């Protein structure tokens, strides 16, 4: 346990830092599956994560001590399983709102939940939901953000960091506190039934919204324009024939 740096109601009130772990999501999942209950809002932060994961088992590279790699436990039992994408929206917006005062309008959310500055990726998240009796019992929210790292391996050509953009170091725990406060605010909006507000705000922050761009799908390359994201998280892209095409995760590739 650490001295408390968090100003929110519950997110981060139980805060643990670990020197090294394979994945903060794995650590928190194990903790949550033990018989002793873990309180909602628990945050596990690792200085070094040896096997961080992105969507669909993609690896995540982070230099030890330079970046934010943490996981957060939420218990969104008020959210129907069919609306679990609203949690993705709320968390993405929380991260966005914490970074926006630093980075300004170059910051966007790339569908479904990557954080971009211009055409470069600052970070992303992996939310693992534990479903019980048709409800989300626990949501393990893993977040990785490039903050003070200056160089990236060649296999990550589009990675960037806050330091690369602004040429200065930032205090990781101050940023973590801000992120958690903003995630909590959007989460409480969902809990209060302000789902439409969260959905509409997410759409306005979306990378490539209403811009004609190049994409690839199983049918090959095509030009299209992102029009919306359905309630369940499906991306809607209009092609040049004015047809609305729908894509779920991994069914569409953004071509830079």
* pLDDT tens digits along 106-152: 999 999 999 999 999 999 999 999 999 888 999 999 999 999 999 99
Q: Where in the chain is the domain with CATH 3.30.930.10?
A: 15-204
Give long-range contacts, CB 8 A cutoff, 24+ apart: 225-228: 226/111, 228/203
Instruction: Identify the DSSP state of 38.
Output: P
Report the alpha-carbon distance of residue 119 to residue 154 in Å, rounded: 16
Identify the pLDDT of residue 1: 39
Identify the pLDDT of residue 7: 80
**Domain 212-255 adopts which CATH fold?**
SH3 type barrels. (2.30.30)
Query: Mean of the pLDDT values across residues 57-62?
Result: 53
- Tell me the CATH number for domain 15-204: 3.30.930.10
Where does the chain show beta strands of DSSP type E? 15-21, 43-49, 68-74, 107-110, 114-117, 120-132, 135-145, 212-217, 220-229, 235-239, 244-247, 253-255
- Greatest Cα pair distance in the chain: 58
- Dihedral in degrees, nearest 10, Cα atoms 93, 94, 99, 103: 20
Identify the pLDDT of residue 70: 97
Alpha helices, H only, 149-194: 162-166, 172-191
Show the tokens assigned to 229: 């994201």
- Dihedral in degrees, nearest 10, Cα atoms 254, 58, 122, 100: 80
């Amino acid at each position: 346990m650490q001295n408390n740096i968090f100003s929110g109601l519950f997110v981060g009130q139980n805060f643990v830092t670990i020197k090294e772990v394979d994945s903060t999501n794995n650590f928190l999942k194990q903790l949550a599956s033990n018989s002793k209950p873990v309180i909602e809002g628990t945050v596990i932060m690792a200085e070094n994560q040896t096997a961080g994961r992105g969507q669909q088992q993609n690896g995540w590279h982070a230099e030890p001590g330079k970046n934010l790699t943490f996981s957060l436990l939420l218990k969104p039992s008020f959210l129907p399983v069919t609306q679990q994408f609203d949690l993705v929206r709320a968390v993405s917006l929380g991260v966005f709102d914490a970074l926006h005062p630093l980075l300004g309008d170059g910051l966007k959310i790339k569908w479904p939940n990557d954080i971009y500055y211009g055409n470069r990726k600052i970070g992303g998240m992996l939310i693992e939901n534990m479903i019980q009796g048709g409800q989300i019992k626990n949501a393990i929210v893993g977040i990785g953000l490039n903050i003070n790292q200056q160089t990236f391996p060649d296999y990550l050509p589009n990675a960037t960091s806050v330091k690369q953009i602004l040429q200065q170091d930032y205090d990781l725990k101050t940023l973590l506190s801000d992120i958690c406060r903003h995630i909590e605010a959007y989460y409480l909006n969902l809990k209060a039934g302000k789902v439409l507000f969260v959905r509409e705000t997410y759409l306005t922050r979306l990378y490539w919204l209403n811009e004609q761009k190049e994409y690839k799908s199983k049918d090959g390359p095509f030009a299209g324009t992102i029009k919306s994201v359905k309630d369940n998280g499906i991306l809607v892209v209009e092609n040049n024939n004015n047809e609305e095409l729908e894509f779920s995760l991994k069914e569409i590739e953004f071509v830079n």
